[in-house]
Structure 1
Amino acid sequence: MRCLELLSPARNKEIGIAAIDCGADAVYIAGPNFGARKDAGNSFEDIALLCEYAHKFGARVFVTFNISIRDDEVEELHHQMLQAQEAGADAFIVRDERIFEMKDITVPLHASTQCAIRDADRARHFEEIGSARIVLERELSLKTIRQICDSVNCEVEFFVHGALCVCYSGECRLSEYLNGRSADRGECIQACRSLYDLEDAEGNILVKNKALLSLKDYNLYSRLEELAEVGVISFKIEGRLKNASYVKNVVRAYSMALDDIVARHPDKYRRASLGVVRGGFEPNLEKTFNRGYTELFIDGKRGQWSSMNAPKSMGEEIGSVAGVRSTGRGTVDITVKLRKHDIRLVNGDGFAFVSGGKITGFRGDKCEGTHIFAKSCDGLRKGTILFRNISAEFERMVENQLPRRELHASIYVQISGEYTLEISVASEDGREVRSTFRADVDSATDRERATAMLREQLSKRSGHYAFNVRDIDICTKGGDIPLLSASTINSIRRLLASDLDDIPCKAIPLALGKRLSEPSQDSTSLDAYKESYINAHEPAIGVKEPLMLSKYCIRYELGMCPRQRAESLGSSKRTVFSNDKQLFLRNNGKRLALHFDCTRCEMRVEKDLLHLKSD
C-alpha cells in the first residue's frame, strides 16, 4: 500500500498548525536562514513547537536549507541543521550536495526542486548520493514524470498548486542581474511579474507595458489520481509567503481530494499521516489568491500559460460598472451590473479592475445590493469590467468555521468488585494504555441509565482524541455498577488522553535514502566538504549561462511561434520557420535578448551584449 502525502507550506508556526488541522500530512518551513524565501524565517523554538503539534497526528515537519551556500557559510549551515534536527525536524529539503556528506545529519534529505531535476539521469544522480526523496521540476509532462518515477527507488514529490516561476527551477539569474538580489539566495524580486515592452532589433515596440514573463498559477486539483498512478507520493503546495487563509483553503480542498482517492482505492492507497478532519468551512479554490489557473505542461502540450494582462490576483468577474457617482470627501458610489443574479456583495469585499494596462484594487467600505461605496479610484468608469479578488464573507467563514482533526481511540471497560474499573484504550496508530480506577461510590439504582451515561461520557473528544466505547464488561455481583457523576467520568476520559500523550505517536516511517540505509564508512570533515564542492552555476552575469531558461515561450503566447504558423498552413512536416526577428524585452532602461530553441521548445532570456556595448 502506498502512502499519499499532502505537503503544505508554512510561513510560520501558526500557519503550519493551521495546515495540519486542515488535513496536511506534512509541512515545510524555513529556519532562521538558508531557506529559498528569505522573508519567511523562523526560530528553532517555533519549529520545535510546530514539530510537537504535528507529531501528535503522525504528521511531519520538513525544514528547508535550499539556497546556494557560500564556502564561508558551511559551518553555520551545519550548526543550524543540527539545531533543526534537535528541534524535531523530520527531514531537510536541500540543494547543496555537500550536505549529503555530513555524517551527523541523521534525518532524511530531500533534493529540492532547486536541484533542477527534470530527467531520469538527474533523478538517479540525487538518489545515488543519498536523497530519500526528489522534488521534481514543475514544467514536466505526466509521461516524463512516469519515466523518472520508474527510474528511481526513492520517493518522488511534485508541486500541484500555487505560483509558478516562469523558468526552470534553479535556472533563474534574472533577479540578480536586474537588482543584485539572487533568487538562488532566497532574495528573488519576482522580476517575472514586472512590466516589459517587447521590441525588435530596430527598436520597434511590438507589445507595450505587459507582464510578458508572468505565468498563471498551477492547479492540478483534478489530476492528483493520475499523478499517484505514475508514482508521485507527495503532492506539494507552493506558498511559503502566503497567509493563513490561503493555506487553510488550499490545504482543505486538496486534502478532501486525496481522501476521495483513498476512499475509492482503499487497498491501494492510504494517507501518510493519521486522524480525520471533520467539519469546518467548505473550501473553494476560486475564492483564494490566484492569477488564473493552468495545468502547464502536464499533458505534454502547450497552452495559454501567461497572465501577462493580470500578474496579480484578479479573482472572479462579477460584472461591469454601470455608473460612478461622487458622494463627496473623496468617496464614490459605484453601481454594478452583476453578471449573475446570485452574486452578493458584502462590506469589506476587495475589487480589482484593469485601466491603462495596470491593475487597480480597492476595498468596498460598504456594499448595498448593487452599490459599492468606496474611496475614489482613478480609471474607474462606466463599462469597466469589475472583479472581486477578496470575498469578505468567505474570509470570515475560513477564519471562524475551523475544521477539527481527531485521532480515533477505542475504549474497553471492565467493572468488577465494589467497584474497580479496568479501562484499556487503543489509538488508531497502535498505542495502548491500561488504567485502573477505584470508585468508592454507591451503586446505581438504574443500571441501564448509568451504563448509558458511562458510555456516552467516555465516547467524547478529549484533546485531539475522539474516544469510542467498544465494550463495557460488567463482572460484579448481581450486575451492579457504580453511580458515577458526569464530571467524574469526564476526568477519567481526560486522564486516558493524557496517558496516550505520554507515548509517542506511531507515525508511518519516512524513507531514509541510501546515505542512511546504506551508510558509507568514510568520514569527511567540514573542511573537506568545502574543498570538494564544485558550484553548479556560473555567476549571474556570466556569459556561459542564460539569465533564464524556460519551457514558456513568449512567441507562442503571442501567436508568433514558427511551429504554430507551420501548422496553420497545414504543413504535415511541421516545418520550423527561421527566426523572422530578433526579439528583446525592455524594462527600466535594461534590454534583455530572447533566444528560442525550437528543437527543444525552450526560451532563453539573456543579457543583450550589443546593447550593453552601445551603452
Structure 2
Amino acid sequence: MKTIELLAPARDISVAIAAINCGADAVYIGAQRFGARKGASNTLQDIEKLVLYAHKFHARVYATVNTILFDSELKAARDLIVDLYNIGIDAIIFQDMAILEMDLPPVPLHASTQCDNYDIEKIKFLDKIGISRIVLARELSLEEIKMIRQEVSCELECFVHGSLCVSLSGRCYMSASLGGRSANRGECAQVCRKSYVLTDAKGKVISDGKHILSLKDMDRSDYLPELIESGITSFKIEGRLKDKAYVKNIVSYYRRKIDDFLAGNCDFVRSSSGKSYISFTPDPERTFNRGFTDYLLKGYREKLLSPLTPKSQGKYIGKIIAVESKRFSTENVELLNNGDGLLIISKDGIVSGLRVNKIEDGYVYPFNFIPLSKGDLVYRNSDIVFEKDLLIDEEERLIDVSMEFKDVDSGFELSVADCDKNTVTVHENLPKILSQKDISETINLIKTQLSKTGNSIFKAESISVVLSNSFFLRLSIINNMRRKALEELEAMRIQNYKREVQGPLNGAVVYPYKEIDYRWNVSNKMAENFYRKHGVEYIKPAFEIKSSGDENLMTSRMCLRYENDLCKRINSGAVFADPFILFDGINYFTVSFDCDRCLMIIKKRE
C-alpha cells in the first residue's frame, strides 16, 4: 500500500506539537541558521524534544537547511546537518547543491522547491542522482505533475495550501535587488505585497496603486484525490511564520479531507499513527487568507491576484443593506459577534477596516465608524469566537490499543497491542484470592480501571478480561499494571521507529545543461565543484555574489496581461504598447511576456 503524508509547517516546537496533535504526519521546522524563514529558527534542544514527541506517533520531522550558502558557512552548515541527524531528524530540506558534496550521515535529502523544481530536466537530474524526495514548484499543473511522475522514481511532494510567491521559487531577486534582503538567504522583504502603478510603454495607466503582484492564497483541498492519483505522496501546507491557531485550523481541515479519501481507498494509508481529537470545526476561511485559488492546477482559468489588499481578507459575510448614523446593517448580520474585525470593500474597490463594538437589533455598531455605503462588501477577517475556540481547544492525539487481561498460574497478566503491531505484556505475581463479588462485576471493575489511560498517548479501543473465577484485586494493582504496560509500549514505539536512510548519490550523471547562470544560485566553491563534476562547463555566480544589473528579478506564471483582461488569446482587441512598466514610487521595472511559455519577466529599469 502507498502511504500518504500530510506535512505541516512549524514556527516553533509549540506549533509543531499542535500540528502533530491535530493530525500532521510530518512537520518541517527551521534550526538556528540556514532556513528560508529567518524569523522561524529553533534550538537543537527544542528540535530534539520535538523529534522524540513526533516519533511516538511515527510522525516525521524534517529540518530546513534551504538557503544558499557562502564559502565561509559551509563547515557550519555541515556541522548543523550532522547535529540534526544525531538528534533524530528524519530528513533535510536543502537548496544549495554544496550540501550534496558534503560528507554527511545517511539522512534523507529532500530537494526544496527553492531548487527551481519547475524545470523538468532539473527534476529528472535530481532523481537520477538519488535524491529521496523532490518538492515540486507550486506552478505545475496536474497534467505536468502526472508527466513528472512517469519520469522519476523518487517521492514527490507538492504544496496544497498557504501563501504564494509570485515568482518561481528560487528565482526571485527583487527583494535582494531593492534592499539587499535575499529570498534565497531567508530574508525576503515581501516586495510582491507592495502597491504599484502599472502602465504600458506609452504611459497608459493600466492599474494605479493596487497590489498587483500580491497573489491569493493556495487552497487545493478539493483536488486531493486527483493529486494522489497523479503520484503525489506528501501534501505540504505553507506557513512557517504562521501562528498556532492558523496551523491547528488548516492541519485539522486537511486531516479530515485526506481521511475521507483514505476511508474509501484501501490502496492508500496514512504515514503515521493515531487519531486526533479537537473541539472546533476547522474552516480555512476563518483564519488568515487573501482569498483562495487552486493556482494553475488545471491551467490559467481564474484571476490569481488579491490586488486590493495584501492583508487577510477573511470570510465573506454579505453586502451592507443599510447605513445610519454610527451604525449599519449587513446581510447575515447574525453571523457576527462583538469584537469581530471586519474588512469593507467599497464599490470603488477602496478597502477599509473596523472592529465591531456590539451587535444590537440587527445593526452593527463599530468602535470606529467610517464612511460606508449600501452595497459595500463585508468580510470578517478577525473571528473573535473562532479564535477563542482555537485558543482554548486542547487538541490531543491518541493511538488506539487493545488490552487483554487474564489470570495465569502465577497471578495476573496484561497484554497491550497497538495498531503498528507493537505488543507488551506485564505480569503481576500474586496469590489469587477468591472474591465474593460476581465474576461479571469483577470483570467490569477491571475494564473500568484499564480504560483510564490518563495522560498517556493511548486510548483503549477494546478491552478483553478473561478470568477463571472472581478474584480479589486491589485497584492499585490494576492501575500499576496498566501504567507499566503503557509506558513500556510507548518506549517500544520509539525504539521500533525506523528512520529512512539516504542512499549514495550517483556522481556519474551528466547535468542537462552545459552552461548555467545566476538563476542556478551558485554561491560557493563546493556548489561549483558539484556542477563541474556533473559536466557543466560554464558557471556564472549567484546574484548575491555578483550582479550585472540586467538579471530577471522575477519570473512568474502570473500574467499581468491576463489579470487586466489584456491577454490577446482571450481578448483579441486588446490595445497596449510593450513593454509594461511597474513603478513602486521609487523604482521602475520593465515587464515583458513570453507567451509561448506563459511566463512573465520583471527586470529593473535604470
Normalised by the length of structure 1, the TM-score is 0.88
Partner of residue 314, structure 2: 315
Partner of residue 529, structure 1: 526
Partner of residue 234, structure 2: 234
Spell out, residue by residue over 1:491-544, the C-alpha distance to the aligned partner (whole angstroms, 9 max, x if none): 32122111112224377756545427x899xxxxxx983662567764264355
2:40 corresponds to which letter in structure 1? Answer: A
SS in structure 1 of the partner of residue 50 of structure 2: helix
SS in structure 2 of the partner of residue 118 of structure 1: coil
1:421 corresponds to which letter in structure 2? Answer: F
Q: 1:406 to 1:35 in 2, by over 3 A?
A: same
What are the residue-to-residue correspondences of 1:346-495 with 2, within 5 Å?
346-354=337-345, 359-376=351-368, 379-380=371-372, 384-417=376-409, 420-439=411-430, 442-446=433-437, 447-462=439-454, 463-475=456-468, 479-485=469-475, 487-495=476-484
2:9 corresponds to which letter in structure 1? Answer: P
- Alpha carbons 2:5, 2:234 under 8 Å: kept: yes
State how far apart, in whole Å, the 1-side matches of 2:430 and 2:320 are.
71
- Does 2:574 align with 1:584? no
State how far apart, in whole Å, the 2-side matches of 1:34 and 1:378 are.
45
Of the three residues 594, 598, 602, the one matched with 2:591 is 594
SS in structure 2 of the partner of residue 189 of structure 1: coil
State how far apart, in whole Å, the 1-side matches of 2:321 and 2:38 are.
41
- What is the Cα deviation at residue 458 of structure 1? 1.0
- Alpha carbons 2:578, 2:592 under 8 Å: kept: no
- Does 2:530 align with 1:539? no
State how far apart, in whole Å, the 1-side matches of 2:338 and 2:496 are.
45
State how far apart, in whole Å, the 2-side matches of 1:229 and 1:508 are.
28
State how far apart, in whole Å, the 1-side matches of 2:163 and 2:130 are.
29
Spell out, residue by residue over 1:31-53, the C-alpha distance to the aligned partner (whole angstroms, 9 max, x if none): 01111111111111111111111
Q: 1:507 to 1:181 in 2, by over 3 A?
A: farther
1:450 corresponds to which letter in structure 2? Answer: T
State how far apart, in whole Å, the 1-side matches of 2:461 and 2:571 are.
67
Spell out, residue by residue over 1:532-571, the C-alpha distance to the aligned partner (whole angstroms, 9 max, x if none): 25677642643553000011100111011121223xx7xx
Greater Cα shift, 436-445 or 501-510: 501-510
- What is the Cα deviation at residue 379 of structure 1? 4.8
State how far apart, in whole Å, the 2-side matches of 1:410 and 1:451 are.
16
- Does 2:89 align with 1:89? yes
SS in structure 2 of the partner of residue 388 of structure 1: strand
- What is the Cα deviation at residue 321 of structure 1? 6.9
List runs of 5+ in structure 2 lacking aligned partners: 509-523, 532-538
SS in structure 1 of the partner of residue 335 of structure 2: coil
What are the residue-to-residue correspondences of 1:61-210 with 2, within 5 Å?
61-210=61-210
Partner of residue 558, structure 2: 552
- What is the Cα deviation at residue 413 of structure 1? 1.9
Partner of residue 280, structure 1: 279
- Alpha carbons 2:59, 2:272 under 8 Å: kept: yes
Aligned length: 578
State how far apart, in whole Å, the 1-side matches of 2:473 and 2:253 are.
46
Q: 1:537 to 1:27 in 2, by over 3 A?
A: farther
Partner of residue 305, structure 1: 304
SS in structure 2 of the partner of residue 562 of structure 1: coil
SS in structure 2 of the partner of residue 515 of structure 1: coil
Q: 1:469 to 1:202 in 2, by over 3 A?
A: closer
What are the residue-to-residue correspondences of 1:246-265 with 2, within 5 Å?
246-265=246-265
- What is the Cα deviation at residue 128 of structure 1? 2.6
2:145 corresponds to which letter in structure 1? Answer: I
State how far apart, in whole Å, the 2-side matches of 1:158 and 1:507 are.
29
Q: 1:228 to 1:530 in 2, by over 3 A?
A: closer
Spell out, residue by residue over 1:256-292, the C-alpha distance to the aligned partner (whole angstroms, 9 max, x if none): 11111111012x1000101112342111122121111
SS in structure 2 of the partner of residue 146 of structure 1: helix
- Alpha carbons 1:36, 1:65 under 8 Å: kept: yes
Q: 1:538 to 1:562 in 2, by over 3 A?
A: farther
State how far apart, in whole Å, the 1-side matches of 2:504 and 2:371 are.
60
List runs of 5+ in structure 1 lacking aligned partners: 326-332, 521-526, 570-576
- What is the Cα deviation at residue 201 of structure 1? 2.6
State how far apart, in whole Å, the 2-side matches of 1:23 and 1:507 are.
21
Greater Cα shift, 347-356 or 218-227: 347-356
Greater Cα shift, 344-353 or 371-380: 371-380
- Alpha carbons 1:94, 1:111 under 8 Å: kept: yes
Q: 1:113 to 1:424 in 2, by over 3 A?
A: same
Greater Cα shift, 277-286 or 386-395: 277-286
State how far apart, in whole Å, the 2-side matches of 1:79 and 1:27 are.
22
State how far apart, in whole Å, the 1-side matches of 2:50 and 2:339 are.
32
Q: 1:236 to 1:530 in 2, by over 3 A?
A: closer
Q: 1:581 to 1:269 in 2, by over 3 A?
A: same
SS in structure 2 of the partner of residue 291 of structure 1: coil
- What is the Cα deviation at residue 378 of structure 1? 5.0
- Alpha carbons 1:108, 1:132 under 8 Å: kept: yes
Greater Cα shift, 166-175 or 539-548: 539-548
Partner of residue 211, structure 1: 211
Q: 1:83 to 1:224 in 2, by over 3 A?
A: same
State how far apart, in whole Å, the 1-side matches of 2:300 and 2:500 are.
33
Spell out, residue by residue over 1:184-239, the C-alpha distance to the aligned partner (whole angstroms, 9 max, x if none): 11111111111000122343433210011111111100100100101000000001
- Alpha carbons 2:200, 2:577 under 8 Å: kept: no
Partner of residue 572, structure 1: none
- Alpha carbons 1:36, 1:184 under 8 Å: kept: yes
SS in structure 2 of the partner of residue 547 of structure 1: strand
- What is the Cα deviation at residue 469 of structure 1? 4.7
Q: 1:311 to 1:468 in 2, by over 3 A?
A: closer
- Alpha carbons 1:200, 1:582 under 8 Å: kept: yes
State how far apart, in whole Å, the 1-side matches of 2:59 and 2:496 are.
7
1:303 corresponds to which letter in structure 2? Answer: E
State how far apart, in whole Å, the 1-side matches of 2:495 and 2:232 are.
24
State how far apart, in whole Å, the 1-side matches of 2:178 and 2:225 are.
41
- Alpha carbons 2:320, 2:373 under 8 Å: kept: no
2:474 corresponds to which letter in structure 1? Answer: L
- Alpha carbons 2:550, 2:603 under 8 Å: kept: no
SS in structure 2 of the partner of residue 565 of structure 1: coil
State how far apart, in whole Å, the 1-side matches of 2:483 and 2:353 are.
50
Q: 1:183 to 1:371 in 2, by over 3 A?
A: same
Spell out, residue by residue over 1:348-398, the C-alpha distance to the aligned partner (whole angstroms, 9 max, x if none): 211112468654333324444534444325555665432211111111222
Q: 1:80 to 1:484 in 2, by over 3 A?
A: same
**RMSD of aligned Cα (Å):** 2.5
State how far apart, in whole Å, the 1-side matches of 2:345 and 2:245 are.
25
State how far apart, in whole Å, the 2-side matches of 1:407 and 1:346 are.
37
Partner of residue 492, structure 2: 503
- Alpha carbons 1:94, 1:109 under 8 Å: kept: yes
State how far apart, in whole Å, the 1-side matches of 2:461 and 2:578 are.
72
State how far apart, in whole Å, the 2-side matches of 1:442 and 1:407 are.
34
- Does 2:602 align with 1:605? yes
State how far apart, in whole Å, the 2-side matches of 1:362 and 1:86 are.
50
- What is the Cα deviation at residue 111 of structure 1? 0.1
- Does 2:11 align with 1:11? yes
State how far apart, in whole Å, the 2-side matches of 1:178 and 1:563 are.
33
- Does 2:327 align with 1:334? yes
Greater Cα shift, 277-286 or 47-56: 277-286
- What is the Cα deviation at residue 607 of structure 1? 1.1
